[in-house]
A and B are shown apart, each in its own frame.
Chain A
Amino acid sequence: MSKGRFISSLRKALTEVSYGAALHGQVSAVLKTRMYIEHMFILMILGDMLGFPILPPYYSLRLLPYAVPNVKAWKHRFYRERDFTDVIYG
């Protein structure tokens, strides 16, 4: 391995370690909140899929194609049984 490549790999490794140590937790929390928002959005457009009446679905259908990849996870999260650990771990 050349000296240049070694330094580059070392820099990358150090960046990843420092990211993991300092920021990974924060990024995960942000993405988790982002997921909740996404699920709320899907609820607003596809609520009637779960029995919540919503507005006439005409414009929801225009947005439906974008929500397709997340529908499964959204329904799963919605139907999931909850216990006290959810209060602690969210």
Chain B
Amino acid sequence: MVWGLRDIVLREGGPRMVIFAGKGGLGKTTSSAALAYAAALAKKKVLCFSTDPQASLSDIFERNIFGKGEVEVAPNLYVVEIDADAKVGAYIEEVKQRIKDMYKLEEIPPEIEAYIDSSVAEPAMYESATYDAMADYLARGDYDLYVFDMPPFGHGIRMLTMADVLTSWVEKLTEVREKAREYDEIASKLKGERLVKEDEILNELKQIRDKLTTFTDFMRERTKSAFFMVMTPEMMSVHDTERALEAFKSIGLSLAGIVLNKVLPRDFHSSPSPYISYRYRQQESVMRVIEEKFGDLVVAAIPMFPREPKGLDGLREVAKHLVDGVTKLW
């Protein structure tokens, strides 16, 4: 039985993309950061990217990295905490400028400008911008390992399914565009002219499609990617993980493993505090349910630390349990 993420992720020929999913506040960001740090120590060039709008990589690494692009926090370890608002703002300005440049306009036609401005209010724009940044980093392929900290569960799944939906939409658009191109060619031939104009829309679509398919290819290929769920030994988390497993299955993804976080240490059993010993007994009963329901899917356990793990020292401590499997369960 595999115990610890080293044999799954850091082995020779291991996955190049790792995704941590799960409810908010359970330790996705900490797990992502700890794995990324362990991989960097193992001489891999790593990008740890937080897609969570309430991400806390800045807190964990004790540095303000929000919206600053790729920041090297340790040798080989780069982290990104995306500022989706700023990215959407810059993107909108770029689109407007492009229209002005293409048609030599001083002002954008009011109805077009109103449309562009109203699209900023669309909540999915921010998810799309984050998703686009993820796909962009992956397509550039500058890193040996990409660790993505997904937004809390529902959004995370939506973000993953978005890749498929967008790919089929872009394919439909390409089809229509190719049809239009065929008609251009027929008209040119009938007129006895040569069609020299290239369809720039087709080129744009091709670029978008290439970017999206890099991501979906990684996602679908089990040897290229690994999905982990982070959960805690509480019944609410058990139910949520069951639902997540179903959702993963429904979109054709299989889980590489479950990381059990915030596990109370064994010596809590004999604690003189009734509060602590009661919590421990409750955890024991949930552990039995976890073993029965998920069994071998659990691949690592991280104990509840006396203080929040922060900074590289804190992450090294987390990595001992997450990556090297120091805490054994059953």
Contact = CB atoms under 8 A, between A and B. Distances in A.
Interface stretch (B40-48, B126-134, B272-280): B126-134
Interface string B163-180: 001100110110011011
Nearest to A56: B124
Contacts of A71: 109, 111-112
B208 A62 contact: yes
Nearest to B165: A55
A26 interface: yes
A59 B128 contact: yes
Nearest to B200: A66
Given A34-B180, A68-B99, A57 B119 contact: yes
A64 B190 CA distance: 30
Interface stretch (A1-9, A36-44, A77-85): A36-44
Contact of A27 (B112, B179, B187): B187
A31 interface: yes
B209 to A, nearest CB: 10
A2 B324 CA distance: 93
B132 to A, nearest CB: 6
Interface string B249-260: 000000000000
B99 A61 contact: no
Interface stretch (B2-10, B66-74, B90-98): B90-98
Contacts of B62: none
Nearest to B180: A37
A59 B91 contact: no
Contact of A56 (B102, B128, B183): B128
Interface residues of A, number: 32
Contacts, number: 96
A58 B129 contact: yes
Residues of B in contact with A, size category: 35 or more
Interface string B197-231: 00011001100100000000000000000000000
B166 A30 contact: no
A27 B66 CA distance: 56
Contacts of A59: 128, 166, 170, 208
Contacts of A19: 191-192
Contacts of B208: 59, 62
A23 B187 CA distance: 10
Interface in A12-39: 19, 23, 26-27, 30-31, 33-34, 37-38
B219 to A, nearest CB: 18
A49 interface: yes
Interface string B102-115: 11000001011001
B115 to A, nearest CB: 5
Minimum-distance CB pairs A-B, first 7: A58-B128, A56-B124, A34-B183, A57-B119, A56-B128, A37-B180, A30-B187
30 contacts: A23-B190, A23-B191, A27-B191, A30-B186, A30-B187, A30-B190, A31-B187, A34-B184, A37-B183, A41-B176, A41-B177, A45-B173, A46-B115, A49-B111, A49-B115, A55-B166, A56-B127, A57-B119, A57-B125, A58-B124, A59-B128, A60-B119, A63-B204, A64-B95, A64-B115, A66-B200, A68-B99, A68-B102, A68-B109, A68-B112
